[in-house]
């Protein structure tokens, strides 16, 4: 598998990793998760910063 993943334990505390073929896809999936799971219609900048830091290439 190639792409990117973000361990959300570092972002919102969930035991879940967002994955995607591009970092943009990881961000989009995490924003959808934040909206559905955490009722965040707008993801706070602090969360986005944590997310950007958590994204890394997936093996």
CB of 25 to Zn ion, least distance (A): 17
CB 45 within 8 A of CB 39: no
| Residue 14 touching Zn ion (CB under 5 A) | yes
CB of 30 to Zn ion, least distance (A): 8
CB of 46 to Zn ion, least distance (A): 14
Nearer to Zn ion, 47 or 58 (CB): 47
**Burial class for 23, CB neighbours closer than 10 Å (0-12, 13-18, 19+):** middle
CB 58 within 8 A of CB 2: yes
Binding site for Zn ion (CB under 5 A): 12, 14, 37
């Amino acid at each position: 598998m190639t792409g990117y993943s973000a361990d959300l334990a570092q972002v919102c505390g969930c035991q879940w990793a967002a994955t995607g073929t591009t970092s943009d896809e990881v961000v989009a999936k995490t924003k959808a998760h934040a909206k559905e799971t955490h009722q965040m219609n707008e993801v706070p900048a602090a969360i986005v910063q944590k997310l950007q830091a958590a994204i890394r290439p997936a093996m």
